[in-house]
Structure 1
Amino acid sequence: MSQVYVLTNQHQQFLSKSNEWIDGRENTKLFRTEYKDVAINQMFEANTRNVALRIELLECELDAKKHPQIPADALSPEPLFSEAQSAGAPDELPQPDPNEAPPQQNPEADPQPAPEVVPQSEPEIAPDQYPGTTPEIEPGQPPESATSQA
């Protein structure tokens, strides 16, 4: 195995092993495979997550440590930084404001019970109470047997 395939997009970013787009300067973090069909499948999956990308396969030679050697013309002119690094922010999550108090009552946590409604029962009406409305099927006789006797 002297060649591998890596994925690159139109912004000169490379797909990492964690399915993120990074610059290709850290070749140990890049997604790579020696099989072209695996690279095509990964390209399809990455493109379904973001259809605006134009992803290409890039065939690269391996160095002595079996990492891909990315050609200099394939790299972006400037290294890419995450938003936290470019803003100079430390790698920690934003903390909530201590002056911000939670609401006194949460209607979703303490739902009010629904009022009980007593259903009104409807009176039953027997078919013989209405003259001229006799049932077409006699009780105990299935409809198939009524049609087969005729």
Structure 2
Amino acid sequence: MKNTSRTTVRRLAGAGAAVLLLGGGALATAPSAAAKNYSLSFDKVALAAPGVTVDVTYSCDEGSQQWIVANADELPKPGHNEVSAAGILKTDKLVCDYNTHTARMQLTTGGVGAFAKGSKVKVSLHYFDPNDGFSGFRTERTVTL
């Protein structure tokens, strides 16, 4: 009886180890187990009067519903009204497949003011989830147009 009991314990231990190894391998290769690949960076910011264009490099997970939002704010000058612009790349304009992609964003002033050559502008980028209002992975940069 003792011998049968030891054999049973060994078999159960071996089966448990095999399940753990196979399960771990399946998890490691599953797409949802891939590292969350959200990245966002500037390539170029340029004057496109009255607004600006921003070339971005991004990466997002498959099935993502995130948008990319960009804002440009002219740094204040004495006696001059500040100009602001904004732009959005919605989900249907993004390729979310864990790989890196580029896109050009046109930021518009909404008809209020215009950027000019030589303007100092702070540009920010971030991901935005329209379903819950969460905003994340923010990056910003100051440039001269």
* More RCO (CA 8 Å, sep 6+): 2
TM-score (norm 1): 0.23
TM-score (norm 2): 0.23
**Higher strand fraction: Structure 1 or Structure 2?**
2
